[in-house]
Amino acid sequence: MKRYSLFGIAGLAERRNNRTTGLPMSLYAAEQAELDTEDPWMVVCEDHSTMVSAPTMALAKQSMAYPTWCEACSGNGEYG
C-alpha cells in the first residue's frame, strides 16, 4: 500500500471540509495511522472525534461526503 503522510501526519491520506456541515473530515490509512480497526481505511470527524471504518478507499470517501455516522453532526441538525 502507498505510504500516506499528508501534513506530516502518519496515515493521513486526505482532509477536506464536508460540503453540508463545513466540518473537517479526515481519511486515514488505518494501519499507518495506528488506528484499531480491521478495515484498511478510517474516516474521522475532526470536530467531534468520531470515526467510521471502511473496507475500500471509495467507500471511505463516500462516508466523508455523508457523515450520518457522526452522531453529533447528524443529531444536532448540522447534517441532514
Closest CA to 11 of 43, 59, 38, 50: 43
| Model confidence pLDDT, tens digit, residues 17-58 | 988 888 999 999 999 999 999 999 999 999 999 999 999 999
Alpha helices in 6-70 (DSSP H): 57-65
42: containing domain: 6-67
Q: Is residue 77 included in any domain, yes or no? A: no
Provide mean pLDDT across the span 8-21.
92
Q: Is residue 75 included in any domain, yes or no? A: no
Q: Is residue 40 included in any domain, yes or no? A: yes
pLDDT exceeds 80 at position 77: no
pTM: 0.88
**Phi, psi of 78, deg, nearest 5:** -65, -30
